[in-house]
């Protein structure tokens, strides 16, 4: 009987499940909506029910699974398998998810936070090329990440990988964390739009992006990159600023950890090589010479599956 | 027969040796001058001779040693036990030090670079309090460091811990690495003096430090801190600038790795709490809230012994 891994990517709108082979191939995938009512108290029972239902349907016994791994928002206690402060799940108090899921499914369980788990996924089966030295940076609504070195995720005192809160501009934009000039304020989807609004005010020339902003059109980070690709001069300036900060932060990350790969993912990274090439140019400007040659920046490859695959990889350690 | 560790701290002027207990207490210590003549070809034979001579003198057989660990300048290949590019030793070509020392002493040998080894020392027996999560920053002629997470040194692709080359000011001072505004250009001993000269030019008030600089007196980083402690207004400004950059860099280090301790050592750290308190104030300004509470900045405790003790700790892994 081939042993399997079960991965769960728990998000604020859906819970994704996957059954994977031990070498990380997704063999079954399904998802359910996240029911955050009643302080998120339905979430864990829903997960248990969905797993038991599917294993029953697929006629797969518990013993076939090395374990279940899950990525979750919030602050995770790895050893206890608890989560606290996952506000988009309405989890305000400590949730004993490991105990409950192990009891409910009869399968061993491990959990880590969603950015760390996505880092594991990209490192294992994505752009990280199964290297032991990978840093993952995800540019979404916020900016997060995970650091893998010596083949292990770094947790530090629990909050390692807060890449979005590295400072790139001491007097820069106000961040939700209370600081000024965090990377997130410039390179998240909202940061890109913030830069666009700022630069548009100062920009005098002709620009499709400026016209849209002046018209009060609600623009997205994607709009900025799309107009930049059409050589809109203002949009190009915005992209240059985004890539400048991301290149500098990548150089600082690499000075400290010198990974084989820095993998850039998340919604903003959908701009592809147009983004990457500009980030790399700035990275090379800021990076220490030996690091410039030994750390490579790449685009993420797994998209939404990174979390599922990385979550499943947590289960590998339960063997 | 109590097992022992042998630590070596190889520097450009002296080679320090120590015999340590397995729990890191130094029991014997000696040193010899570093003979860098003839492309440093005498160094390894001198090390072998000194070890054999002392073990003979102390009547300690080879079998009593778990291993020899050494910290060295230059770029180290951990597995091969080779060193290249240690210019202050005149080692221009690859040195096969592990092979030679193991053959010459009959004791197993491990090597890492000097900043990493000092980080291990401080983490194990110094301010790092034997934590598995410690970053060491050494403020000397340059700025170096080492990152320990999950109880292991990070090497990345070989150059992890280049803390001195994290960027703190994109248009800042030119660095020896070719970059601008590396941490080292502001917080090394030479960086402190550079800031002092720069600020003195702009400073109009009365200041002992300014008078000394205007007189052409050769000042040191220590002079700057000493006059600042006497409340010289210019010197205080210089110290504030040094601590600002070091505090910001520490916050960026902590955002990425969230260590339990960031340990600050090296000559500049001799300024003690006068330095530390100001760095901490800036760190708290720049750090992400959870990191502000969970990462503590401390002064190094082992001084020159950090390298010896950390080197010896490399030998522990040879068991």
> pLDDT digits over A19-38, tens only?
999 999 999 999 999 999 99
Per the structure, the count of domains in chain B is: 2
Whether residues B98 and B22 share a domain: the answer is yes
* Predicted confidence band of residue A319 (pLDDT cuts 50, 70, 90): confident
CA distance A75 to B156: 27
Within 10 A of B255 (CB to CB), how many other CB atoms are there? 31
Residue in the block written with tokens 């992400």? B288
* Predicted confidence band of residue A137 (pLDDT cuts 50, 70, 90): very high
Whether residues A21 and A138 share a domain: the answer is no
User: From B177, which residue of chain A is nearest by alpha-carbon distance?
Assistant: A288
Whether residues B48 and B8 share a domain: the answer is yes
Whether residues A161 and A281 share a domain: the answer is yes
Whether residues B154 and B279 share a domain: the answer is yes
What pLDDT is recorded for position B86?
86
Contact criterion met (CB < 8 Å) for B255 and A179: no
User: Does B204 map to a domain?
Assistant: yes
* Predicted confidence band of residue A150 (pLDDT cuts 50, 70, 90): very high
User: From A177, which residue of chain B is nearest by alpha-carbon distance?
Assistant: B288
CA distance B270 to B192: 13
Q: For chain A, say whether B216 makes contact (Cβ under 8 Å).
A: no
Q: Collapse the DSSP code of A178 into the 3-class scheme (helix H, G, I; strand E, B; otherwise coil) and give the result.
A: coil
B9 has which bridge partners?
B16, B71
User: Does B151 map to a domain?
Assistant: yes
In 3D space, the residue among A213, B126, A271, A83 whose CA is nearest the CA of residue B135 turns out to be: B126
> pLDDT digits over A186-226, tens only?
999 999 999 999 999 999 999 999 999 999 999 999 999 99
> Å from A163 to nearest chain B CA?
6
pLDDT at A229 over 90: yes
Contact criterion met (CB < 8 Å) for A163 and B258: no
* Predicted confidence band of residue B293 (pLDDT cuts 50, 70, 90): very high
Chain mean pLDDT for chain A: 96
Residue in A258, A285, A287 nearest the CB of B157 = A258
> pLDDT digits over A273-297, tens only?
999 999 999 999 999 999 999 999 9
CATH number of the domain where residue A57 is located: 3.30.420.40
Q: Collapse the DSSP code of B166 into the 3-class scheme (helix H, G, I; strand E, B; otherwise coil) and give the result.
A: coil
Contact criterion met (CB < 8 Å) for A159 and B286: no
A80-to-A9, A94, A316 alpha-carbon distances in Å = 19, 11, 18
Whether residues A105 and A220 share a domain: the answer is no
User: Does B126 map to a domain?
Assistant: no
Q: Give the mean model confidence (pLDDT) for residues B286-311.
A: 96
Whether residues A115 and A196 share a domain: the answer is no
CA distance A244 to A88: 31
Could you tell me the maximum CA-CA distance found in chain B, to the nearest angstrom? 68
User: Does B125 map to a domain?
Assistant: no
CA distance B296 to B293: 8
A71 has which bridge partners?
A9, A112
User: Does A188 map to a domain?
Assistant: yes
Contact criterion met (CB < 8 Å) for B255 and A156: no
What pLDDT is recorded for position B319?
83
ipTM of the complex in this document: 0.95
What pLDDT is recorded for position A92?
86
User: Does B168 map to a domain?
Assistant: yes
What pLDDT is recorded for position A70?
98
What pLDDT is recorded for position A218?
94
- A23 secondary structure, DSSP code: T
Q: Encoding tokens for residue A278?
A: 């500009």
What pLDDT is recorded for position B314?
97
Whether residues A55 and A139 share a domain: the answer is no
Q: Give the mean model confidence (pLDDT) for residues A121-130.
A: 98
* Predicted confidence band of residue A118 (pLDDT cuts 50, 70, 90): very high
What pLDDT is recorded for position B78?
93
> pLDDT digits over B18-32, tens only?
999 999 999 999 999
B109 has which bridge partners?
B68
Q: Give the mean model confidence (pLDDT) for residues B209-235.
A: 97
Q: For chain A, say whether B131 makes contact (Cβ under 8 Å).
A: no
Q: How far is CA B266 from the centre of its chain?
A: 6
Whether residues A206 and A107 share a domain: the answer is no
Whether residues A288 and A232 share a domain: the answer is yes
> pLDDT digits over B1-23, tens only?
799 999 999 999 999 999 999 99
> pLDDT digits over B93-105, tens only?
999 999 999 999 9
Domain holding A144, by residue range, is 130-299
User: Does A254 map to a domain?
Assistant: yes
What pLDDT is recorded for position B85?
85
Chain mean pLDDT for chain B: 96
> pLDDT digits over B99-146, tens only?
999 999 999 999 999 999 999 999 999 999 999 999 999 999 999 999
Contact criterion met (CB < 8 Å) for B288 and A259: no
pLDDT at A86 over 90: no
Whether residues A235 and A309 share a domain: the answer is no
Which residues in chain B have Cβ-Cβ distances shorter than 8 Å to A286?
167, 170, 179
> pLDDT digits over B41-73, tens only?
999 999 999 999 999 999 999 999 999 999 999
Contact criterion met (CB < 8 Å) for A156 and B286: no
B62-to-B6, B27, B108, B220 alpha-carbon distances in Å = 11, 16, 9, 45
CA distance A121 to A130: 9
Whether residues B291 and B310 share a domain: the answer is no
What pLDDT is recorded for position A34?
96
Q: For chain B, say whether A147 makes contact (Cβ under 8 Å).
A: yes
Q: Give the mean model confidence (pLDDT) for residues B191-218.
A: 96
User: Does A125 map to a domain?
Assistant: no
Q: Encoding tokens for residue B137?
A: 């920053």
B123-to-B148, B160, B265 alpha-carbon distances in Å = 8, 17, 12
Q: Encoding tokens for residue B30?
A: 């000696």
């Amino acid at each position: 009987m081939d042993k399997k891994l079960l991965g769960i990517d728990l998000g604020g709108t859906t819970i994704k499940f996957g059954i994977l082979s031990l070498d990380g191939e997704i063999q079954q995938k399904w998802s359910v909506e996240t029911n955050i009512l009643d302080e998120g108290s339905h979430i864990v029972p829903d997960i248990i029910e969905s797993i038991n239902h599917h294993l029953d349907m697929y006629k797969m016994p518990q013993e076939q699974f090395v374990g279940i791994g899950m990525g979750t928002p919030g602050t995770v206690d790895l050893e206890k398998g608890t989560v606290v402060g996952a506000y988009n799940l309405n989890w305000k108090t400590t949730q004993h998810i490991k105990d409950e899921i192990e009891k409910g499914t009869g399968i061993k369980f491990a959990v880590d936070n969603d950015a760390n788990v996505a880092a594991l996924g990209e490192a294992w089966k994505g752009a990280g090329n199964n290297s032991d030295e990978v840093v993952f940076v995800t540019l979404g609504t916020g900016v997060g990440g995970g650091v893998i070195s010596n083949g292990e995720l770094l947790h530090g005192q629990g909050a390692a990988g807060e890449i979005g809160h590295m400072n790139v501009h001491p007097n820069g934009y106000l961040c939700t964390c209370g600081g000024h000039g965090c990377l997130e304020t410039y390179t998240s989807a909202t940061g890109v739009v913030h830069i666009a609004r700022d630069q548009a005010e100062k920009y005098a020339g002709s620009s499709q992006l400026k016209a849209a902003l002046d018209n009060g059109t609600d623009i997205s980070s994607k709009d900025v990159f799309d107009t930049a690709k059409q050589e809109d001069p203002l949009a190009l300036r915005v992209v240059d600023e985004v890539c400048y900060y991301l290149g500098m932060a990548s150089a600082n990350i690499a000075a400290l950890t010198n990974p084989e790969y820095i993998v850039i993912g998340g919604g903003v990274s959908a701009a592809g090589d147009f983004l990457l090439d500009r980030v790399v140019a700035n990275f090379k400007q800021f990076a220490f010479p030996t690091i410039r040659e030994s750390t490579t920046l790449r685009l993420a490859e797994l998209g939404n599956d990174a979390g599922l695959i990385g979550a499943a990889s947590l289960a590998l350690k339960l063997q």
